[in-house]
A = this chain, B = another copy of it.
Amino acid sequence: MAQIKPSLAKGTRDFSPLEMERRNYIFNTIKDVFRKYGYQEIQTPSFENLQTLTGKYGEEGDKLIFKILNSGDFISKISAEKFATLHSNSITPLIAEKALRYDLTVPFARYVVMHQNEITLPFKRFQIQPVWRADRPQRGRYREFYQCDADVVGSESLLNEAEFILVYQEALSSLGLKDFVIKLNNRKLLAGIADIIGKPELLIDMTVAIDKLDKIGLVGVKQELAAKGFSTEELAMLDPIITLSGSNVDKLATLKEVLKSSEMGQKGIEEIEMVLAYAQKLDANALPYIEVDITLARGLNYYTGSIFEVKTNEVSMGSIGGGGRYDDLTGMFGLPGLTGVGISFGADRIYDVLLELDLFPESTTKTTQVLVTNFDQSTEDYALSLLQTLRKNGIASELYPVAAKLKKQLTYADQKKIPYVIFIGAEELSSGMLTIKKMITGEQEKMAADDLFSYLINTADPN
């Protein structure tokens, strides 16, 4: 077998034990909150039939879907004459009928349609799985990354939206974040703005431009809108909307006035007010985290009602979550008229935020709690029985697997971040008093084995 210098595929990552514990800490915290709000976990396969995915993510998205080469003699059906007439796009469906999951939403829509006779509406599911995109890898952008979604389908109630705000608030607070904002907008409100301007056909252009306010400023947005065909009068009308400020109540009052001629706009305002009212009744403490943000469009074409985005103010970072309501989630698979609303946590970014703010608790490190030393054959029998008693008491423990120098064993404990080392030598064996060393402080204590168990159960991290 030829030797190969090992390397990772471009844009992919290994996760070490420490990274895994930290990732699990984030996922478990979010899962607990999802469950508390009635969401249940599902999983869908890593690959789908290619036709399930193509055409759902726009032309650019289609290019970024990883296709899986058919197995067997996939090429024999293509003659050299035919080959000469093909290009990469036209040959792909001939040699690849499967593709890797690009997001969790489309497979979820497929799931709902295929399992419509088993599920009870409203169906509240969460899903935490990797997705794959053939993006050019760069700092913070990977070709394999996890999405962490919760959605409910089959319920129009805006209570769902309010609960998602609480899910964000509770999960992020549990992770130790303090200063974050949950931005709320409504697509109908944006449509209402287009309405009063009289250019509904430019709605997408308008939201895309408004979305850039942070980056290019009011002048830039207006330049872009002018280039798209908005007149000076229309831009003047938009002005108070784009520069809207004050409390949520202030903003909504201004909007009501500006949009009074647009039924659609009024409906959007009403929906936002209803979401805020529900959130307040559920937990008034969540209100300060919510910010009505008319510039929030998330560049997405498929939201039809509420739009969410979450940002932290503690670290400079893009959004760490987002979502919204989309009518007709399942229409693409032949089940029309089912409304859905969902949110997503940006787990990779949250990881970076917690790391930067030093918010990972020490106790996320679910490593071995105790290393029992191994010096010679004569103490091994005692050590083995002690070892197993520790484990029976729920304490994750290891015996160093061979007799070795003390330094080597301590280095092992140190590098694996094992907090306690128990020494068993001839002296310990004859006196019945074991020495326990607390690695972080270097302190050593002597105690009988029975006292040791209760000492460790009371002080060691639960595993």
B-binding residues in A (CB < 8 A): 1-9, 12-17, 20-21, 24, 32, 35-38, 40-49, 51-52, 55-56, 63-64, 66-69, 71-76, 80, 83-84, 86-88, 91-92, 95-96, 98, 100, 110-111, 113-115, 118, 120, 122, 124-125, 130, 132, 134, 144, 155-157, 159-160, 166, 278, 281-283, 331-334, 366-368, 380-381, 384-385, 387-388, 391, 394-399, 401-402, 411-412, 415-416, 463
Contacts and interface: CB of A to CB of B under 8 A. Distances in A.
Contact of A282 (B55, B368, B384): B384
B144 A35 contact: no
A68 B71 contact: no
A55 B1 CA distance: 7
Contacts of A63: 71
A316 B56 CA distance: 45
Nearest to A281: B384
A73 B100 contact: no
Contacts of A37: 391, 396-398
A14 B83 contact: no
Contacts of A71: 63-64, 66, 134
A394 B35 CA distance: 10
A8 B134 contact: no
A394 to B, nearest CB: 7
A100 B68 contact: yes
A142 to B, nearest CB: 9
Given A36-B394, A157-B401, A282-B388, 5 more contacts: A9-B47, A9-B48, A16-B118, A159-B401, A281-B381
B40 A20 contact: yes
Nearest to A395: B36
Contacts of A381: 281
A62 to B, nearest CB: 11
A86 B78 CA distance: 11
A87 B83 contact: no
B6 A334 contact: yes
A243 to B, nearest CB: 35
A36 to B, nearest CB: 5
A73 B88 contact: yes
Nearest to A365: B40
Contacts of A14: 42-45, 111, 114-115
Contacts of A84: 80
B15 A42 contact: yes
